[in-house]
Structure 1
Amino acid sequence: MSLLLGMILDGVFGEPRVVWDRVPHPAVLMGRAVGWCDRRFNRGPARRLKGVALVAALVLGAVLLGWAIAELGWLAEVLAVAVLLAQKSLVDHVRAVATGLRMSLTEGRRAVAMIVGRDTAAMDAGAVARAAIESAAENFSDGVLAPVFWYLVAGLPGLLVYKITNTADSMIGYRTERHAAFGWAAARLDDLLNLVPARLTALLIAASHAQLGAWREIVADARRHRSPNAGWPEAAMARALGVALAGPRSYDGAMRDFAWVNPNGDRAPGPREIEAACTALWRVWAGLLGFAVLAVLF
């Protein structure tokens, strides 16, 4: 019941600014904690060992915090679930890219820069739309389905373990000179925790858009993706919308020649396809909500 109510609260209210303009969002607090640890411990010898110890400490802290919140009663657990999911806020951010593109390419670039980490200054309209759609698919897996999955597996402690791991991966899980060793454990644990949710996301997107007949092609595209997990929801979304995703893009001023996902799809989507991606997110969310209802009943 806590999961069901939490999903509904998040779907209706999202992240109300009247609250989070006054107090830090839990995701912000998690980020601050990881950032402090990065500055404090990511130095000297044995950085990989220090990174492993950090992840172990974060996981233990998340388990204890989840257990403590659950002990406060059902209302506290419902609110925690609602705060830690990101359905409405994700859709709002993705739809803002469509709105921006309708105004101008500059506004579209500005909006998409809020949700992606790649270079956006030289993007054309098609690249902006592709980036928004990719973000919609990947972040639904990371921000909605995976937290729901781990809540079903291990309750609020499981959800919090996933969120702190995902936050750590997003901050230190990079193969850069600074983070390759220290962030190794965070990146590997995040890959593991997303292994099943990413594939479930792809399955739900495909099933809700009559694309199960293209499952072999979705799997093939997902396996060509640079990420072991992100390619699954992206491949399914690409087939659902008839667009091509991924492909070459720039990071830190350097172009990277990534493989296309659904290469025969439309490589120049626009605001209409971004809106279709938002509709797809709500369709899959509704299916996930149905599963939550079944979990309560049975």
Structure 2
Amino acid sequence: MEVLTVFLLALLWDLLIGEPPALVHPVVWFGKLAEFFDERWGRKGPLPDFLAGTLTALVVLLFAIALSLLPFYLPFPLNYALAVYLLKSSFAIRSLHEHVSRAVTDDIKEKRKAVSMIVSRNTETLDEAHLNSAAIESLAENFNDSVIAPLFYFLLFGLPGALVYRAANTLDAMLGYRNERYEFFGKFPARLDDLLNFVPARLTVLLYLPLGGRRVLKYYRLARFKLNSDKPIAAMSAVLGVMLEKPGFYRFPGRGPRDEDIRRALRVYWLVVAEWVIIVALFLATEVFPCLSP
């Protein structure tokens, strides 16, 4: 099976249709499986919780691998159809734009509601500039998590790479918290996500260089707050020239962002998406990966 064809069809699906229904979305399945084990494990102490969380992650990752191998055993054209569907489920270009664009509004209540759907922080305590900042931060961070990283691992390991990354990222989003419930249960998923995102986060910064030049590198050097997630945010802040801040965690300099800056961020987003899509397509066109054949 031609991997470039699968990628282009998955991309076309994403741009024209968007996300599959939740009932049949593999990422939702990953989350439900993790939730099943999370709810049934009564916390018993650091080591038992760590082992239980690690086992939970391994079960979800093995499920992702099993899904990714199904196209190997199907005849044409079912193998193509399933491979396109599964690859599409690993990345989200259109839906990320749609979610962030809802934050562009003069109604502060609607803005708070829209931003609360894409960030975990309490939006009721944020002023307008920090609401706008949160929306742009979410766009920048999720560009890495939802576009760059899954396709990066698709390039390296084919469909199993894309789905395993998406499963690991989902596990981190659900379990990777530093609180009493998840401090040890979510330790392995959190560290795995850190490891898998180390290269993609820095690759994301490189894609901003044509748009922001040396200022991107300057802001990158300021991004010392987190291992990965603040790197794409720093690059977006540099390109836009606006302040992006999560109070108590990180702050990149600039004026307070306005609605127009969210629109600008979305335009920047499509430019870097285009860069990445071209890179992926060119690489697939010049290299043959046997990831979708037995």
- Is the 2:208–2:216 contact (alpha carbons within 8 Å) kept by the matching residues of 1? no
Aligned residue type for 2:101 = R
**Equivalent residue number for residue 32 of structure 1:** 32
Aligned residue type for 2:133 = R
**Equivalent residue number for residue 253 of structure 1:** none
**Sequence identity (%):** 38
- Give the gaps of 5 or more residues in structure 2: 287-294
CA distance in 1: counterparts of 2:216 and 2:90, whole angstroms: 31
Shift of 1:155: 0.9
**Equivalent residue number for residue 11 of structure 1:** 15
- Is the 1:94–1:132 contact (alpha carbons within 8 Å) kept by the matching residues of 2? yes
CA distance in 2: counterparts of 1:297 and 1:155, whole angstroms: 14
Q: 1:121 aligns with which of 114, 119, 124?
A: 124
Q: 2:133 aligns with which of 130, 133, 152?
A: 130
Q: 1:61 to 1:83 in 2, by over 3 A?
A: closer
Give the match's secondary structure for 1:145. helix
CA distance in 2: counterparts of 1:204 and 1:231, whole angstroms: 15
CA distance in 1: counterparts of 2:42 and 2:203, whole angstroms: 35
Shift of 1:24: 4.0
**Equivalent residue number for residue 66 of structure 1:** 68
Aligned residue type for 1:271 = D
Q: 1:43 to 1:247 in 2, by over 3 A?
A: closer
CA distance in 2: counterparts of 1:123 and 1:162, whole angstroms: 32
1:227-249 CA distances to partner (integer Å, 9 max, x unpaired)?
Answer: 2111110000001111111241x
1:53-98 CA distances to partner (integer Å, 9 max, x unpaired)?
Answer: 2222222222222112344322221121122211100000101101
Over aligned residue pairs, what C-alpha RMSD do you find? Answer: 1.6
**Equivalent residue number for residue 47 of structure 1:** 49
1:245 aligns with 2:205: no
**Equivalent residue number for residue 216 of structure 1:** 217
CA distance in 2: counterparts of 1:123 and 1:181, whole angstroms: 30
**Equivalent residue number for residue 273 of structure 1:** 261
- Is the 1:202–1:236 contact (alpha carbons within 8 Å) kept by the matching residues of 2? yes
Matches within 5 A, 1:1-298: 1=4, 2-15=6-19, 20=21, 23-45=23-45, 46-72=48-74, 73-98=79-104, 101-102=105-106, 104-207=107-210, 209=211, 211-223=212-224, 225=225, 227-248=226-247, 257-261=248-252, 263=253, 265-266=254-255, 268-298=256-286
- Give the gaps of 5 or more residues in structure 1: 249-256
Aligned residue type for 2:85 = L
Give the match's secondary structure for 1:280. helix
- Is the 2:26–2:86 contact (alpha carbons within 8 Å) kept by the matching residues of 1? no
Shift of 1:293: 2.2
CA distance in 1: counterparts of 2:113 and 2:54, whole angstroms: 36
Shift of 1:122: 2.5
Scaled by the length of structure 2, the TM-score of the pair is: 0.89
CA distance in 2: counterparts of 1:95 and 1:235, whole angstroms: 20
Scaled by the length of structure 1, the TM-score of the pair is: 0.88
CA distance in 1: counterparts of 2:71 and 2:222, whole angstroms: 41
Give the match's secondary structure for 2:32. helix
CA distance in 1: counterparts of 2:228 and 2:267, whole angstroms: 22
- Is the 2:68–2:86 contact (alpha carbons within 8 Å) kept by the matching residues of 1? no
- Is the 1:70–1:156 contact (alpha carbons within 8 Å) kept by the matching residues of 2? no
Shift of 1:215: 4.1
1:172-223 CA distances to partner (integer Å, 9 max, x unpaired)?
Answer: 111111111110000000000001111111111232x1x2322431222222
- Is the 2:34–2:57 contact (alpha carbons within 8 Å) kept by the matching residues of 1? no
Shift of 1:295: 2.0
1:134-166 CA distances to partner (integer Å, 9 max, x unpaired)?
Answer: 000000100111110011111111111111111
- Is the 2:134–2:246 contact (alpha carbons within 8 Å) kept by the matching residues of 1? no
1:270-296 CA distances to partner (integer Å, 9 max, x unpaired)?
Answer: 111001111111111111111122123
Aligned residue type for 1:62 = A
- Is the 1:48–1:184 contact (alpha carbons within 8 Å) kept by the matching residues of 2? yes
